[in-house]
Amino acid sequence: MKKLLLNLSSSLAMLSMTLMSLAVPSQASAQAGGGEEFKPLGITSAAFIKVNNDMSPDEAGAYETFAECYPQALPALPCGEFSAEWAEDNGIKAIWIHINRPGVEIGWHNLPDGFADEAFIQRLREYSVGGGKMFLSGLATQLLVAIGRQPDAYAPNIYYTDSEGRKISGNMSVVLNDNDPWGVTGRLNGVDHDGINSFGHAKHAIYGQPDPDFRGYYASLTSTDDLSPDGVHYKWNILGAYEGQKINVSDNNCMWTYDDRAEFRRRNNCQIPGSWGQENYDTRNWGIVEFLPDNVDGISGGHDVFGTEDEPWMGNTIANGMACFQYANKADNRYYDNLRNLTFNTINYLTGEYRVIPSGITAVGDDEAAAEAPVYYNMQGIRVEAPAAGELVVKVAGGCATKMIAR
C-alpha cells in the first residue's frame, strides 16, 4: 500500500510539473494584475473542503474562485468525507476551507454543518500534524484552536459585535462607497524581530512580489501605493465598489489583536504577513497569519512547539480572517482580480509545486519532448498505458498536456 501511494504521489507530481510547463510558459506571462491577463492552472494538488450540505453564497463564491484558478481540480469535498488518507490517495498537498455566513457565534464549537464535529476535528489534526498544508479563511481561522495548533488564549478575537453585544457573524450590513475600499497591507509598524523591516512582509509570496530566490508561480496584484524603500508595493485594495456605485458587504472579521507581537509570534510559532489595509502602520491587528511547522522558526530565540518529540507538527497553515476577503459579490467588486490573485498565490505558495520557468526554457528539453511518445494519465494522476475508449485522461506529449476523451 505504501509503495502504491508513493507511486501515486510521484505520478501526480510528475503530471503537475508537466502541466506547469504548459500553463506557465514564462515569468512575464505568469504574472497577472495591473491589466494583465490572468492565467489559471489546470490540475492542482489543492482541494476545496466544504460544509456537508449547502454552502452559503460567500462559500459558494469562494469555490467558484477556486474552480476559476484550477479548472481541472477535484470537486469540492464535504468535510465529513475528508481525511489524511483521502488527501494522500488523491495527491493533495493543501486544502482550502472558507467559512463565511451570518448568525454564527464566536467559538469553533459553533462552526456550521460538520466543521465542529469531533471526528472531523480529529481527522483535520492528523492531516496537519502529518505535514498537510491548510488555507483557512473567514470563520475557519478558529479551526486552529480546535485542532490544538493555536492556544485558546490566542484564539481570533476581532469579531463582529451586534447591537445586543453578542459576538456573532454579521449580515450584509455595511455599504461601501467607491471611495472607501477595504484592503490588506504587508507593512507592519517599525522594525520587526529578526531584522525584518516594516515593509519586509510585503515580499511574502502571497502578494506576488517575492524575493528573487523564491521561484513560485504567482499572479501580481494591482496597488495604488508608492513603492517602499525596498522597491516593493505594500498595500492592496481587495473589496470595493466601482466608480459611482455602492456595494453591500459583511463586517465579518475573524482575526487577531494582541499587544505584544513578539510574544504572539513566539507562543504561536508564526509570522504575520498582513493586516488591515486602512492602517498604514498597524501594530496590533493581524488579519493574515502564517502558522509554521515545529521545525521552522517563526521568531528567533525559541518558540513554542505543538507536536511531540516523536510526532512533531509538520503542517503549514495560512489563516486569513479579514472581512475584505468576500467572494459572493464578484460582479460588483471592483478589486476582484486582487482578491482572486491573492487567493491563487496563497494556495500555490502552500502546495509549493509550481515554479516559474524562464522564457525560452521548458521543463523538458524541446527536442526530447517532441521525440517522446505520448504518455497518458487518469484523473487521479496514475499513468495509463492504454486508455480505454471513452476514458477521460490527460495526454502529455511534446511538452504539452491536453485533457481528452480516449477513442
Per-residue pLDDT reduced to its tens digit, 344-374 = 999 998 998 543 333 222 232 333 333 457 8
Task: Decide which of 30 and 167 is more confident.
Answer: 167
Q: Any idea which of 70-79, 110-119, 201-210 has the lowest mean pLDDT?
A: 201-210
What is the pLDDT, as a whole number, of residue 13?
A: 41
pTM of the model: 0.78
Average pLDDT over residues 176-196: 73
Q: pLDDT grade, residue 325 (50/70/90)?
A: very high
Q: pLDDT grade, residue 230 (50/70/90)?
A: low
What is the pLDDT, as a whole number, of residue 283?
A: 64
Average pLDDT over residues 272-296: 82
Average pLDDT over residues 381-392: 76
What is the pLDDT, as a whole number, of residue 357?
A: 31
Q: Is the pLDDT of residue 46 over 60?
A: yes
Q: Are 31 and 220 in contact (CB under 8 A)?
A: yes
Q: Any idea which of 79-83, 171-175, 253-257 has the lowest mean pLDDT?
A: 171-175
Of 90, 75, 117, the C-alpha closest to 13 is 90
Task: Decide which of 25 and 145 is more confident.
Answer: 145
Per residue in 84-106, pLDDT tens? 999 999 999 999 999 999 889 99
Task: Decide which of 118 and 16 is more confident.
Answer: 118
Q: pLDDT grade, residue 198 (50/70/90)?
A: low
What is the pLDDT, as a whole number, of residue 388?
A: 84
Q: pLDDT grade, residue 212 (50/70/90)?
A: low
User: What length is written for the chain?
Assistant: 407
DSSP 399: T
Would you tell me which CATH number, out of the four given (1.10.150.530, 3.40.50.300, 1.50.10.10, 3.40.50.880), belongs to the domain 31-351?
3.40.50.880
Distance of alpha carbon 297 from alpha carbon 186, whole angstroms: 20
Q: Are 296 and 327 in contact (CB under 8 A)?
A: no
What is the pLDDT, as a whole number, of residue 384?
A: 80
Of 127, 130, 99, 103, the C-alpha closest to 115 is 99
- Mean pLDDT, the chain, rounded, equals 79
CA angle 134/49/382 to nearest 5° reads: 85
Full DSSP string of 277-339: TT-TTBSSEESEEEEPPTTS-SSTT-----S-SSS-----EEEE--TT---TTGGG-TTHHHH
What is the pLDDT, as a whole number, of residue 95?
A: 98
What is the pLDDT, as a whole number, of residue 63?
A: 98
Cell numbers 509570522: residue = 271
What is the pLDDT, as a whole number, of residue 211?
A: 57
What is the pLDDT, as a whole number, of residue 127?
A: 98
Q: Any idea which of 28-37, 318-327, 393-402 has the lowest mean pLDDT?
A: 28-37
Q: Is the pLDDT of residue 14 over 70?
A: no
Cα–Cα separations (whole angstroms), residue 270 to 18, 244, 304, 317:
33, 41, 10, 9
What is the pLDDT, as a whole number, of residue 102?
A: 84
Average pLDDT over residues 20-33: 34
**Domain boundaries defined on the chain:** 31-351, 366-405
